[in-house]
Structure 1
Amino acid sequence: MTTVSGIEPRSSGKTRTNLRRDRDPQRLLPRWLQFVTIAVLLLFLLPVVYMLLISVSPDLDAAAGKIWPSTFLFRNYLDVWSTVDLAKGLVNSLIASLSAAVIATFFGLGAAYCLTRFSFRGRAPFLSSLVGLQSIPGVMIILPLFVVFSSLGSALGIPIVGSRPALILTYLTFAIPFATWLLVTNLQQIPVAFEEAAMIDGLTRFGALRKIIFPLMIPGMVVTLVFSLLVGWNDVLFASVLTTPDTQTVAIQLSAFASTTEGGALPLYGQLMAASLISAAPVVILYMIFQRQLVGGLTAGGEKG
């Protein structure tokens, strides 16, 4: 008995060590595949690094094709604010994209709740149509949307084309189906028994949705909010038709800035790269802030119930 008791702790210790090694993420891939993955990631980061270098380079160095600047010109990040009305573009993009993302997330949550908690005729075709709507090119609906907004503006006597509400409504046509589909996959992982227990305790169905489902859906809603915001933030097509100089988004301003610099004697490469990095910074910061919720929401959607 003494010999057996002396051997068991060593065996269990080795077993725990082996389990920790087996669960080590670095051991899931062969070493050569790890090097290949790192090389591919570095390859994708090269354009970003090149943008950073050009943004602090003199325009002569960028025009000559020099990778490393002769002098670091950080003034490009200050001069670009006076060259381009970047602040107005960022505000317009933030208002249009964030408004559409918030509206799409809450409307998508309500639609996803009805689709997952109630059975009705046409439920399955409606779910399939959500995926089909994502495959429709934006070029096919931009003309009908423009005609509808123009006719509605003429009937009401209010200029709708060129306003922020028109842009928000346009983004919602893509964001709401996308948000609904994402939230359906997340809501299916939450057992119905949670709501039934809450309603037995006296809560209404809306109260169960607000106090039980809503807190559990926060990671999935963060994922939906971020990806719905990207629908409007990266848009160039609709914003180029449905905006005026006062409501232009930052993507349109960057496109116009790039086209105007091409006609000059020396393109403002440094300021153009600086403006591009500044316009990408809000989305990167958003990803960094909600990194944990993004990972939790994406993995929750892939679990089996």
Structure 2
Amino acid sequence: MTTATRALHAVSPRDARRAARRSGRPGRGPAADVTRLLPRPLLVAIIAVLLVIVLGPVLYMLFASVNSDVSVAAGAFFPAELNLDNYIKVWSTVDLGTGLANSVLICGGVAIVCAFLSVATAYVLVRYEFRGRMTFLRGLLGLQSIPGTLILLPVFVLFSSTATVLGVQIIGTRWAVFITYLTFALPFSTWVMVTYLRGLPKALEEAARIDGASSWRILTRIVVPLSWPGIVVSGIFAFLLGWNDVLFASVLTNPESRTAAVALQVFGATQEGGAIPLYGQMMAASLICAVPVVVLYLVFQRYLIGGLTSGGVK
């Protein structure tokens, strides 16, 4: 490799973009390509429409949560006056605190376990050749095509049989939901990490192995630090799988172990028919349950973007 080639590789993409802006020749990128394909007025109009589609329901929920139930029932979009009592009353109307605590505990545990188990599994599948490797990889994809509704009854019967045979009560506990979510999330997380680890250079691992590092040391000291974007992506998707689930959580939990999604479902079911529903508290509870997910995305946004775009360019 010549000195010029080394210097070219030493320049980061950020420095190259800064140099291009200083020279008056902005670098080519996705935004520039889109601008060339679409006129700027049309591009602005498309972005505005997308923002309205995405932010419209969120703004309606926000305005309804600070509005009176009568005004929401009458079809009012903007509140006549701000009323923050809904955010206070909802905690006593719905057992939202217990639901949020259970959801964070269960989904957070699933995300952590999935993230690190998927790294180890994907490392073996990518770096080692053994009989049945491709069958295992195809099985990971095949598991994603099975609808969850078809597995609900077998899972329930399996947990009930376990309680009868071993005398260990599983249904109605957090462990039942944790094991179920882990079963669905681990194949997807493993496939995400397989795609990510294929893009990591083998030269680093080979150099470490020449220095006498074991496979475990290579995994913990080289692969895991370089795989944080992929780990975050797999963990977030595993977290969301449990956070948004209502089907399994409503069957496998009791009032003490139910998740936030089930608490919202029960609250909504109790408001059907009769007098005017508590629209304000329903919207406030929905927004409160969405806050942990929004915070999660904001905290790990940098890793999330890097993990999603990895492997797209070879």
Q: Shift of residue 68 of structure 1?
A: 1.1
Q: Which range moves more in the overlay, 37-46 or 151-160? A: 37-46
The structure 1 residue matched to 2:235, chosen from 225, 228, 233, is: 225
The alignment status of 1:275 with 2:285, answered yes or no, reads: yes
Q: Specify whether residues 121 and 42 from structure 1 end up closer, same or farther in structure 2 by C-alpha distance, changes over 3 A only.
A: same
Q: Shift of residue 263 of structure 1?
A: 3.6
The alignment status of 1:202 with 2:224, answered yes or no, reads: no
Distance 1:152 1:199 in 2: 45
Distance 2:253 2:30 in 1: 51
Q: Shift of residue 99 of structure 1?
A: 1.0
Maintained 8 Å contact 1:186/1:220: yes
- Percentage of pairs with the same residue: 50
Letter in 2 for 1:77: Y
Q: Specify whether residues 71 and 126 from structure 1 end up closer, same or farther in structure 2 by C-alpha distance, changes over 3 A only.
A: same
Q: Specify whether residues 121 and 263 from structure 1 end up closer, same or farther in structure 2 by C-alpha distance, changes over 3 A only.
A: same
For residues 1-305 of structure 1, the aligned pairs below 5 Å read 16-18=23-25, 20=26, 22-23=28-29, 25=31, 28-29=34-35, 30=38, 31=40, 32-304=42-314
Distance 1:185 1:66 in 2: 48
Letter in 1 for 2:23: R
Q: Shift of residue 200 of structure 1?
A: 1.1
Letter in 1 for 2:34: L
Bigger Rg, structure 1 or 2: 1
Distance 1:59 1:277 in 2: 16
Q: Specify whether residues 195 and 281 from structure 1 end up closer, same or farther in structure 2 by C-alpha distance, changes over 3 A only.
A: same
Q: Shift of residue 21 of structure 1?
A: 5.9
Distance 1:24 1:206 in 2: 39
Distance 2:264 2:20 in 1: 60
Maintained 8 Å contact 2:123/2:197: yes
Letter in 1 for 2:159: F
Number of residues of Structure 1 aligned to a counterpart in Structure 2:
292
Letter in 2 for 1:195: E
Maintained 8 Å contact 2:108/2:239: yes
Task: Give TM-score scaled by structure 1 length.
Answer: 0.91
Can you list the C-alpha shifts for 1:43-86, whole angstroms capped at 9, x where unaligned? Answer: 22101110000000001101111111111111111110011110
Q: Which runs of 5+ in 2 are unaligned?
A: 1-18
Maintained 8 Å contact 2:121/2:190: yes
Distance 1:173 1:182 in 2: 15
Letter in 1 for 2:284: A
Letter in 1 for 2:59: V
Task: Give TM-score scaled by structure 2 length.
Answer: 0.89
Q: Shift of residue 37 of structure 1?
A: 2.6
